[in-house]
Amino acid sequence: NAGVTQTPKFRVLKTGQSMTLLCAQDMNHEYMYWYRQDPGMGLRLIHYSVGEGTTAKGEVPDGYNVSRLKKQNFLLGLESAAPSQTSVYFCASSNGLAGRGETQYFGPGTRLLVL
Amino acid sequence: AQSVTQLGSHVSVSEGALVLLRCNYSSSVPPYLFWYVQYPNQGLQLLLKYTTGATLVKGINGFEAEFKKSETSFHLTKPSAHMSDAAEYFCAVSEFGNQFYFGTGTSLTVIP
């Protein structure tokens, strides 16, 4: 039982390049989330999904797209990377609605540097 | 929207001393409250949470927190700090939705 895994662990991009971050969970959770963590700002929700085939915007969705084609996977895409997207990205999943008190399980994070 | 305030971005305590990490939130209704811990180069893991019921919540590793509605606070405490408690601690709030609001975090240093 690996929990929540994220690929890659670290990536360097040039401005304007695109990439996809992969999140996978083996806990059969319905809900999945993408956060970014920046110094002094805590974690901010980018997008989330309440089930396979669904996605919704969080607090800071601009510049990102997501897809949930399979229940166990949640992809975060950057179509045209900008230096402002340099951050640590965390994926999380939960069995029930996080907003109703369900525990979120986090992956180890992906460090992204955009030059 | 919710806001979460964690007083003190850095807290240092001596080993064996009381740990007190402060969290205040803004909400017009009773929220769900969480404390997460992040060890270096790792993801976050749940320490404890308040949903309903008893306002004093016990978590893992000897931590506990008390929900005080009148003070809109959810401070985290541990009677005796251990070296392994050195980490970043995040308070989080949710209010009947999928939106989660994290505080900016408090880095705890434990001095031998």
Each residue's pLDDT tens digit, B12-61: 999 999 999 999 998 766 678 999 999 988 889 999 999 888 889 999 99
- SS3 for A9? coil
Q: Going from the first residue of chain A to its last (115 residues), give the mean pLDDT of each consecutive group of 10, the final group possibly shorter.
A: 90 96 96 92 91 93 96 96 96 86 91 97
CB contact under 8 A, A4 and B98: no
A88 touches chain B (CB under 8 A): no
A106 touches chain B (CB under 8 A): yes
The DSSP annotation for A54-91 comes to --EE-SS-TT-EEE-SSTTEEEEEESS--GGG-EEEEE
A2 touches chain B (CB under 8 A): no
Each residue's pLDDT tens digit, B78-107: 999 999 999 999 999 887 666 778 999 999
B95 touches chain A (CB under 8 A): yes
Angstroms from A109 CA to nearest CA on chain B: 6
Please report the pLDDT score of residue B1 as a whole number: 60
